[in-house]
Structure 1
């Protein structure tokens, strides 16, 4: 089959983008011809796939998205693809990979006028085209966190939802030489004996709760804070958070490391993954940490937080978010013996499929498009 994969922006360190590429590679390896359409492309282009960067011009992002979708529809009609798989919400999709939280739910949580803004109307129209009961788009989801809300708002039938297993890359698994790799990379990072490495991973610092992480670090007891380093991996506008770190007197404790190809080494070197996200459909890094035997402190507003709860590989902070309580949990995890969490993580990985996302997604795509 000839398949068109469509997303607004591709860069190699985004979770959505990595999932898109995993699925595209799996489909290509099954013999399908893959074309990728995007507004912006950053990084190397994959072998054996056609990449089409569709240029549009507008001052407003939602205008750019609308223009992009219109031009992609023209290309799809001209090229005669068998199926269209989208990684952002838009009309005309056979299959949608749902990594973004439901926008209509977000509108309900904002002021009454928010849904009537031009940007909101554009996003709601795109969401209706995917979730609406008149649509035929099948929906791939990483968790069932929002299915009830989506069905209440849009009347989407059960048969169009497909839950996927996680898609953890196997290079995240702690191997036999885990301790050696850990010590060597900690030395490269300049960490002293006895220092704690607190890790955050993910582009989108605001939604991932970087402000919460900084505030919690500031509230640590002096002795613990003075031996703790926070490293933040991901690509985003870090200037506001660098400014916040300076205001909190944490500039020598907080380091923005950018997008990295050596993320597994950070997972092995760290003492704790902190993920105080405001809202997230899944959170692949949570299971990457479990695979790497890295204890996790996460908010329950992440779709994959249930894996931390089930595995016992960390602590899930229950809503509503409370900074004082979150800080106490952070102190507990940084000060306690990590071995029970590590052993729980190792057991969970041995008993749970955390690798099959691309294969299952490709199965659904083949079934739907055929």
Structure 2
């Protein structure tokens, strides 16, 4: 009876939280003036790589001597990192960055050099997609940089962050929690009939001009062991990529709360091979399948550009799909996951 009462209380609290969350999202435009965004350039001297970071946060009305003035009410342990999809940018993740910031999170969106267009189109290198270990390196460096003097006017707790990523960023998030790739698995899958509708295989064909040598495989193995970051306390993977290439045993060892959200009727990454595969093999994973005709790019901001990735439009959804409505539904799942697991 006590257990039933506790469950009933929890369910009631969760329902109340979701109602309040939806109300806050509907009132989002009225509080937008209290939110701020800023882009700051960092440079990883050890790896000779720039890191442009877009921040979303609640700003203080009072000036300060830091680059970003946080409100006195800022909770020090509400920190989230966002990793964008292949050849994308944090500038396309405002829907998520502002929503998290509106609930008191300091959010840092990492632009991965060599992939992100924010560094200039001349910097884009298709082969970067095959150097998957660089993305987790970027994130760990940015986490280190969050404690830089003069960045914030308040100290932040960096020992239990939430890692969020879309597509390749979804893999990046999971790699930081322990996921690794398995040699030869991607190549075998992409040669099979199962991969006929998998646009992800096109990146590996563009990014690698010759087979990997044994010495390169040894070095990659070492780099993979360094991808995990113990400061990641929870993962939210939005339609994650590279499910067809990930080692199953590495997923079984992930021990942080994980939310995997994927588009069921996917136009880019087959749901069974990617999102569902991840969730099926991570013990503490929650899987949410988004239907309603949603495709792979509903996880980026609404847009009007005529851009495509491997032939799939980034901005134009299928008929009848309302990206803004679906994103609000996704936010309910995200904040429900955060609340349920006591994150932040």
Q: TM-score range by the shorter chain?
A: 0.3 to 0.5
Which structure has the highest helix share of the two? 1
Q: TM-score, normalised by structure 1?
A: 0.37
TM value normalised by structure 2: 0.39
Larger Rg: 1
